[in-house]
Amino acid sequence: MTERHKYAGHHCHSVAHAIRGRVGTKGELFPPKKLRDEVGLRPRAEVRYRTEEGRLVVEPLPALKDVLREPPEVVIAPAEIRTLRSKLSREAER
C-alpha cells in the first residue's frame, strides 16, 4: 500500500474531524479555521510537531501568560531555595 493511500478509509476514534487541507509550496501547513478554532490556535501561536504512528500531530503550546495564571504545583520558600543553592554550589566545588 502506498504512503499516499495508507490511511485512506482508516477510521480513528480519537479524530473528531477529518478535513482535507493542503501543503504549500514551501511546506507550510494550512489547517482550516474550524480546526484552528477548535484547538485554540491563534495567529503566531507556537505549536509542537511530533509524529505518531506515521502521522503528523500538531499541538498548540500554551502561551506563557496562560501558564503563569495556573496555580503552582510546587511551592518553595526563598530560604529553601538559598539552602538548596548553597548545597549545590558546595557539591559542584568538589
11 pLDDT higher than 60: no
Cβ atoms within 10 Å of 66's Cβ, excluding its own: 10
- The predicted structure's pLDDT at residue 26: 95
pLDDT tens across 28-61, in order? 988 889 888 988 888 888 999 999 999 999 888 9
6 pLDDT higher than 50: no
Banded model confidence at residue 73, pLDDT cuts 50, 70, 90: confident
Average pLDDT, the chain: 82
What structural domains and CATH numbers belong to the chain?
3-93 (2.10.260)
Angle at 40 between CA 54 and CA 63, to 5 degrees: 100
- The predicted structure's pLDDT at residue 64: 87
pTM of the model: 0.50
Question: Strand pairing of 55-60 and 47-52?
Answer: antiparallel
Residues contacting 50, CB < 8 A, separation 6+:
56, 57, 59
Distance from C-alpha of 64 to C-alpha of 76, rounded to nearest angstrom? 20
